[in-house]
A and B are shown apart, each in its own frame.
Chain A
Amino acid sequence: MSHLDIAVLTSAANALFAFLVFHVLLMRVFKAINMPFLILTSIVLGVFLNGFSFNLVLEVSGINKEIPLRLSLFSAVLSVTLYALLVFHYIAWIFGMSEAAIRIRLLFEVGKKPHGGVKVGEILEHYNAATILEVRLKRLVTAGHIRFDGSRYQIRISPLLIQLWLMKGIMKLLGADREDVPGNKSKREG
């Protein structure tokens, strides 16, 4: 493995580790502060540590004098990009799942009675479409994805809206229509 690879990968890994520690600490200490802000703060702290770590590895290995500045900067940007993608995957697959996945929550609900069965009605008593919607709307407003003026919700330019555009773009690229999405089949049939 080249020294440059070691510098890029080590600093991205260090930054990811720092992000994981920061976000756990911040979330445990500052429970009253809204979560998106804490996550964003942890990401930014990770970016700083990424740059510091990259520079340190280059200096320790002594290759900072061997490689041109342009390649060094390019590698630093690559390292931050890898760190950002790692954080994205962590948030999408682990943090996001624990925070918002309905299936995980349903497993918890079923698991409340480990030896006896749980009926749908019992789950719906305290976890249903209305409670899910209420939590989601509150979360979207808090995170700044949408705005509520007291009677109507309004959309804002946000990462979630960009995600929606991306999904539409992918559907268009694939040549897929709404009928390819399982949830929409019933609409086609009925």
Chain B
Amino acid sequence: MICVLLALSCFILYVLSHAVAFRAGLIRFELIRIFVLMLLWGIVYFFVANSIRLELGWKSSLFDLPLFWSSLLLYVLMSFWYFGETTAVRHPSPSMKIVAALSKNGGEISAEEIRKQFSNEELIVSRLNDLVAHGHIKYDGNSYTLLPSGDLVVRIFRRYRQLLGRNLGG
């Protein structure tokens, strides 16, 4: 149980330290820095767990502490959840934007009012530009062509959708 409490504490401290670093302007939404912060608190978990083991006079290895690995996995999964949340905050999905629009308008909105908030520029063109920037497709000034990394993504997801027996998503 100690390891679980330690993992939860490390997760809370990870989120709080990001909040402090964010407010200080040291780490904003840079995914690599957030990831490094997550690793640092993971290392703290190892050191503190080892200190507890020594304090309790536990003779076997650190890795044999009851629930050591389960707690570590709990920390990693919760940290990745937070990692995902920081991405979702930056790039809210259209579904989230619909719910946000409803929430902002007192929980009720007409189809027309929702439609006004979505444009091809925002939903299609900006994402095509993003795919170009990440090297998945190229733009020759007139049309878009798939690059090898984009082709790989298409192949993987096509197989996956075939496995599920579903048509294209999006």
Which residues of A are at the interface with B, using a C-beta cutoff of 8 A? 1-2, 4-5, 8-9, 24, 27-28, 31, 71, 74-75, 78-79, 81-82, 85-86, 88-89, 92-94, 97-108, 110-111, 114, 116-120, 123-124, 127-130, 132-133, 135-137, 139-140, 145-146, 151-155, 160-161, 163-164, 166-167, 170-171, 173-176, 180-183
In the assembled complex, how far is the CB of residue A96 from the closest CB belonging to chain B, in whole angstroms?
9
Contact of B84 (CB < 8 Å), options: A79, A92, A119: A92
Most chain B CB neighbours (cut-off 10 Å) among A107, A116, A133, A171: A107
Total contacting residues, chain B, CB less than 8 A? 83
Known: A114-B151, A173-B19. 20 other contacts (CB 8 A): A1-B64, A5-B67, A5-B70, A24-B163, A28-B165, A92-B84, A100-B95, A106-B131, A124-B124, A128-B120, A132-B170, A146-B102, A152-B110, A153-B102, A155-B103, A155-B108, A163-B96, A176-B22, A180-B90, A181-B89
Closest to B65 in A: A2
List the count of A-B residue pairs having beta carbons below 8 Å apart. Answer: 242
Closest to B156 in A: A98
Which 5 residue pairs of A and B lie closest in terms of their CB atoms, listed nearest first? A117-B143, A105-B170, A85-B77, A28-B165, A155-B102
B19 pairs with A27, CB closer than 8 A: no
A152 pairs with B73, CB closer than 8 A: no
* Chain B contact residues: helix, strand, loop or mixed: helix
